[in-house]
Amino acid sequence: MVYGILVAPFADMLTNPRFLAEVLIGGVAAGLMYSLVALGFVLIFKASGVFNFAQGVMVLFAALTLVGLMERGVPVALALLLTVAVMVALAIVIERLVLRPLVNQEHIVLFMATIGLTFFLEGFGEMLWGSNVKKLDVGIPDRSFIVAGIQMNQLELSAAGTAAVLVAILAVLFHGTRIGRALRAVADDHEAALSIGIPLKTIWIIVWSVAGIVAIVAGIMWGAKSGVQFSLSLIALKSLPVLILGGFTSVAGAIGGGLIIGVGEKLAEVYWGPLVGGAIENWFAYMLALVFLLFRPQGLFGEKIIERV
């Protein structure tokens, strides 16, 4: 047993490096998907201190809207624009109906409100666009090719590229623009930001809109990979441990945490899973986060301040 846990998996890795590389690439690909969801979450948390449980379902909702529009014969570019419009409208509605009445409430209350939002959007999206699995095809090629004997997938590469571009854009947005400065000010201290004339409501709408647009990107990637279906919102729960690993306020942390979780759970599943009957992917991420919480609660890249008793 000890041999099986401590020695055999590593021996496997060493004797078959090509397979190891494929597992790693699969993990990176899955991790990037988690990261994209976590990214939207970090944005909202940074600017408004809301733990947005609904980010996962926003991804689903965005993908559903896009697919639904395209199924009705709307060309891709127009459908994308319309989806962006829908997500911005959603941001405005959420700000008006959920956030504004709950301003100054405890974090935990806002968190529970976003759980309510999750269920509402899930029912709403399913009612609007139907509940069957849909294929999303926005023209990203899904061909596999072989580099140095390792199988790679073009879709996964484009996802990685998109994530990188997205992070770059967000970094510029946060650190190089007026709006970004306002966002950071609001994140630091609501009242101080208000008192120097930063319009809180507008900032919230902007942030939720940006999170919505990030959700569209994540939705496109996921939809292209595994089809648009309602189990996506469950996979999105995986972004929660990603956040704990990466820290709630760090964009880099969302990406790093996603990669660690993605690679870690694939490795665990492939090499250690068979020892205990498999399917440990379901909980491995959470357990990793749990262990992490005990030793480094602020995450890898998070700020040191953490609420604890």
Partner 1 sequence: MIYREAGQFKTSYASDQAIFPIAQDRWVVVLAVLAAFLVPPLVANEYWLQAILIPFLIYSLAALGLNLLTGYAGQLSLGTGGFMAVGAYAAFKLTTAFPGVNILIVFLIAGIVAAAVGLLFGIPSLRIKGFYLAVATLAAQFFLVWLFNKVAWFSNYASSGTITAPPRTVFGVMVTGPGATASARYVTALALVAVFALAAKNLVRGRVGRSWMAIRDRDIAAEIIGVRPLRTKLLAFGISSFYCGVAGAELVFLYLGSAETLAFDVGLSFLVLFMVIIGGLGSILGSFLGAAFIVLVPIFLTRVPRSVGLDLPVALQKQIELMVFGALIIFFLIVEPNGLARLWQITKEKLRLWPFPH
Judged by the rule CB under 8 A, the positions of this chain that interact with partner 1 are: 51, 97-98, 101-102, 105, 107-109, 111-113, 115-124, 126-127, 131, 234, 237, 240-241, 244, 276-280, 282-283, 286-287, 289-290, 293-294, 297, 306-309
Q: Which residue, among 2, 14, 25, has the nearest Cα to 266 in the 3D structure?
A: 25
Nearest distance in Å: CB 249, partner 1:
13
Q: Which is nearer to partner 1, 49 or 227 (CB)?
A: 49
For the beta carbon of residue 87, count every other beta carbon within 10 angstroms.
23
- Torsions phi, psi for 97 (to 5 deg): -95, -25
Nearest distance in Å: CB 286, partner 1:
3
Nearest distance in Å: CB 87, partner 1:
18
Q: Which is nearer to partner 1, 159 or 285 (CB)?
A: 285
Long-range (24+ apart) CB contacts under 8 A made by 145-149 are 149/18
Nearest distance in Å: CB 42, partner 1:
13
Nearest distance in Å: CB 112, partner 1:
6
Residue 137's alpha-carbon distances to 4, 56, 76, 161, in angstroms, are 43, 20, 9, 18
Q: Which is nearer to partner 1, 10 or 283 (CB)?
A: 283
Q: Which is nearer to partner 1, 93 or 164 (CB)?
A: 93
Q: Which is nearer to partner 1, 222 or 284 (CB)?
A: 284
Q: Which is nearer to partner 1, 252 or 280 (CB)?
A: 280
For the beta carbon of residue 1, count every other beta carbon within 10 angstroms.
6
> Which residue, chain included where needed, has tokens 């911005």?
88
SS3 228: strand
Nearest distance in Å: CB 156, partner 1:
25
Take residue 167 and report the two structure tokens written for it: 């992070």
Residue 184's alpha-carbon distances to 30, 149, 205, 278, in angstroms, are 30, 46, 15, 43
Nearest distance in Å: CB 233, partner 1:
11
Q: Which is nearer to partner 1, 17 or 116 (CB)?
A: 116
SS3 150: strand
> Which residue, chain included where needed, has tokens 């498999």?
278
- What is the C-alpha separation between 137 and 139, in angstroms, rounded? 6
SS3 175: helix
Nearest distance in Å: CB 307, partner 1:
7
Q: If you count DSSP H runs as helices and E runs as strands, how many of each does the chain have, helices first?
A: 14, 2
- What is the identity of the amino acid at 195? S
Q: Which is nearer to partner 1, 18 or 100 (CB)?
A: 100
